[in-house]
Structure 1
Amino acid sequence: MLRIGILVFDDVEVLDACGPFEVFSVAGRAAERAGREAPFEVVLIAAGAAGLVRARGGLPLQVEAGLAEAPALDVLLVPGGVTDAVEQDTAVVAWVAERARVTPYVVSVCTGAFVLAEAGVVTDQSVTTHWDDIVALRERWPALDVLEEVRWVHAQSSLRPGGEVYTSAGISAGIDLALHLVEVLDSRDNALATARLMDYAWTAT
């Protein structure tokens, strides 16, 4: 079973975090329907101490693990939303960089790409983000190759040799990327079954 950690913080975009959470959760149900064990364990990790996080729009999320309690991960997912405070929090940025050095897959959704750039996970790779933030990402990190009109981008980590990095476009694109990761980490059959259970028209490429 692979452990996927999703970093959450005040003003995190709801679907950025909860869309992939739903995908990996439903992938477990799809696997069990096929007579297999669930392939993923998903944990929310608060950007600070465990407790209540208020997502964008005011949705409360009760998070049981903070940075200090976060377990070892196979996948670290950094969602977006209003990321200004997270980008300026040196403890969170240092934690993301530290985890990126030991975690095989590091993923961002939407403006989570700004956090990866701040942490040095991406420096000159091809990346993407929400269409409304393309210009800002290019201006702040001009060495990055920021792509438009794509759902997600695959690159290699700047902090871990052989480490995989995926960045997605905005909000709902994180669902497409999460389904792709189900395919990569488990199987295409399970990714298709997961999309079917979610009644979601998956943009597979």
Structure 2
Amino acid sequence: MNIGIYIYPEAEVLDFSGPFEVFSTASRLCGAEAPFSVYLIAENSEAVPARGGYRVLPDYSIKDHPPLDVLIISGGVHTSEMEKRAVANWIQHQAESVELIATVCTGVFLLANAVQSLSCKVTTHWEDIPELRRMFGQLDVLEGVRWVDEGRIVSSGGISAGIDMSLHLVSRLHSVELAEKTAHQMEFTWTKNI
């Protein structure tokens, strides 16, 4: 399966690095039978200045990536990213074609902005819950949970919660056994329930 992680200027580093580590570690543990190919995708192919000056070179742009099975949208300073029509159009197109879309932290703002019909249970970083409710009243925004699985839409709270969510996705897309092995390899205590 192709897992694409969307990054952008001022994206939160662990929001994309955590899921990347989960899926790449899971594949490494499977050896030649690697179930996942994980890619960082940005608006264009230039280096992306993430939070704290962390510069990241994406694997692909929104114009040239391989077909995706899963799209993960990282969080970060999202307000200017929401104004990019090309990005919103791309997210909307992906929402129509991928098996599932997952968001970490404020990545859910980008998804809700692009898919105006989105109406389901979601979560985000605790600090951003009031703004998410104000901007997207059709969403049922849950508090006090690490992640929410609504089938094709899976969302997580801030930063480290994206690792819990990604382990959950590995358990859904492959097996609980592989997710547990991955958490153990990463020396991470996986919060399995929401």
TM over 0.5: yes
Equivalent in the alignment of 2:167 = 179
Equivalent in the alignment of 1:94 = 89
Equivalent in the alignment of 1:125 = 120
Equivalent in the alignment of 1:137 = 132
Cα distance in 2 between the residues matched to 1:69 and 1:175? 27
Equivalent in the alignment of 2:78 = 83
1:124 is displaced (CA, Å) by 2.0
Aligned residues, how many? 193
2:186 paired residue among 193, 198, 202 = 198
Cα distance in 2 between the residues matched to 1:116 and 1:145? 14
Amino acid at match of 1:40: F
Cα distance in 1 between the residues matched to 2:158 and 2:179? 20
- 1:63 maps to 2:58: yes
1:106 paired residue among 94, 101, 107 = 101
Amino acid at match of 2:177: D
- 1:9 maps to 2:4: no
Distance 1:30 1:182, change over 3 A: same
SS in 2 for 1:69: coil
1:64 is displaced (CA, Å) by 3.2
Matched-pair contact (CA < 8 Å) for 1:116–1:122: no
The list of structure 1 runs, each at least 4 consecutive aligned residues, that deviate by more than 4 angstroms after superposition, is none
Cα distance in 2 between the residues matched to 1:190 and 1:154? 19
Equivalent in the alignment of 1:38 = 34
**Equivalent pairs: percent with the same residue?**
45
- Please give the TM-score of this superposition, normalised by the length of structure 1: 0.91
- 1:168 maps to 2:156: yes
1:122 is displaced (CA, Å) by 5.8
Equivalent in the alignment of 2:111 = 116
- Please give the TM-score of this superposition, normalised by the length of structure 2: 0.96
Amino acid at match of 1:23: V
Cα distance in 2 between the residues matched to 1:120 and 1:173? 23
